Chain A
Amino acid sequence: MSATTAETPRLRPTRALILRGLLLAGLLILALLPLLNRLPPDHALHASDFIVSVSGKWMCYAMLALAIDLAWGYAGILSLGHGAFFALGGYAIGMHLMRLIGPRGVYGHPVLPDFMVFLGWTELPWYWWGFQFFPFALLMALAVPGLLAGLLGWLAFRSRITGVYLSIITQAMTYALMLAFFRNDMGFGGNNGFTDFKELLGMKLNTAGARAALFYAALLSLSGAVLLCRHLTRSKLGRVLVAVRDAESRVRFLGYSTVSVKLSVFVLSAMLAGLGGALYVPLVGIINPGEFSPGNSIEAVIWVAVGGRGTLVGALLGAFSVNAVKTWLTSFAPDLWLFALGGLFVAVTLFLPRGLIGLMRKGEER
C-alpha cells in the first residue's frame, strides 16, 4: 500500500475514530447475537430468533450493497441489475441444496428434484451436473455472476456505453433473467423456485446450530469482503477507479485501458453479489425468480445512496439502516414501504447527496 494514504486525510481523525468505533461495535454485536440467542428468553440480553435471522439476511444484503458501491461509488458504473448476480449466486447454492434432498422429496426420486419429476423429466439436465458437490456449487455461485458480468461489461465498456444506457442494459438483463427463470422448462423450478431444503455440509438446516453456523459464515464473508474492498479501494487501482468515475477519457489519455479497469471491478463486484446470494439462500430457505425482479436491484442501489456511495462504511450503513426501517415499517404497514422507499431516495438525492456518511463529513474541506 502506498504511503500517500497518510497524506490524504479523508476524515478528521476524531470522526474517523468514531466511525471505526461504530464499525467495531456493530461487528461485536453481530458476533454476539447467536450467543445472546442461547440465553433464556426472559433474560434482559436475550436476542430473539427473529433478530438473529433478520440480521443474517441483512449481512447478505450488506454484501450486495458493498458490491454495488464498488462498481457505482468508486468506478461510476451504476448497475441496476446487481440483484441478478445475487440471485444467480443464490440459485447456484439452491441447486446444491436441492440435490442434497435426494430421495427425501415428495416423489422419492433418488436423483431428480420434485419439480422435475412433476414435469415428467427422467434425466437430470447437464447443467445440473456437479451441483451435488458443495465446492462446485460455491464456485458456480461466484463464476456464473462473474462470467455474466464479464460478458456484459466487455460488450458495453468496449463500445463505450456508460451512464444511463448502461443502467438500462443491466436492468433489462435482470428482467430477462426473471422471465427466463419463471419458465418451467428452464429447469430451475419455475415460479416456485427451490425450497424445502434439508441439509448443508452435513448440518441439518432448521436447527439452532445450523442457523448459528450460517450466521457466522455470513459474518465472516462480510468481514472478508470489507477487507478485500478496503484493500482494493486504498490501492492505486482504487484511485484509478475514482479517476475513471470522474474523468474517464482523461484516464484513457494517460494510457490506462479503462475497459479492463472497469471490467475487472465489475466482475469482482458481480462475484461479491453472487457470494451474498449464496449465503442468503440457506439462511432464508428459499429462492425463486422474484429475486430477479428489477425492483430488488433498484432497492439495493437506494441502500447505497442512503448510506453514502464511495465509502465502504456508507454501503454497510445503508444496507443495515434501510432494511431495519423496512422490517419495522412492513410489520404494521406493508403497503407504505414502496412510498417510503421512493421518498427516502428523493430526500437523499436532494438533501444528502453523500448519504448518511456525508452528515459526518459535513463542513470538511472538499
Chain B
Amino acid sequence: MSRRVVSLFAALVFTGVVQGAAVARAQSAAPAGIADQVELCSACHGEDGRPVNAETPIIWGQEEYYIYVQMKDIKAGRRASEIMSGVVADLSRDQMRALGKYFSQQPWPRLAFKAQEGDEAVANTMASAGQCAQCHLSGFDGDSRIPRAAGQTDTYLEKTMLDFKYRRRLNAPDKASLLETFSDNDIAAMARYLAALQPH
C-alpha cells in the first residue's frame, strides 16, 4: 500500500495536480478493498466526477467493463500513459474489476461544452464513413466494452483519437486503422461534437 501511495504522489507532483489530493475524499462510500484507490483516483478524475482538467477523462458513469479493460491494458503496456501506468502498476485483477464496478455506478457528470459551427456536419460525415454507431450505438452512449463518448472531456477525446491514429494508443488496433483514414482537423471536430453531446 505505502509504496503505491508514494508512486502515486510522485505522479501527482509530476502533473501538478497535487493540491487537492491530500484532502481528497471519495463522495460515495467505496468498498473496503479499494477505498484508498478510489480516493487517489478522485485526485485527478474528480471528487464529484468532474475531472480536474480537460486532458483527464470522465470515469464516473463510464462502462464497467471498459474501465476494467483500460486498466488491464495500461498495466500490460498496450496503452501507454505515463500518469496512469504508475497508478495501476500494483493493482490486482480483482481490484481493477472492483474499481470498474464502483466508478460505473457513479453518476456521469454533465459538463457544459459547446461545439463550433460546422462540427456537426463533419462529425456526421465521419460517423457514416466510419460506421461509428455500429459499435458506439446511436448517441455514442456506449455499452460494456464500448466506452461512452458522448459528453466526455473534449481535449481528452481529441488526444486519445490522435493517439490511436499515430499509434500511441495500441490497445485497439482496428480503431487505429480506422482513425488513420481521417484528417487531424476532422478528428478535432469530432471530438468537439462528441464532447457537446449529452448521454441519454
Q: Do A and B come together as binding partners?
A: no
B contact set with A: CB distance below 8 Å: none
A contact set with B: CB distance below 8 Å: none
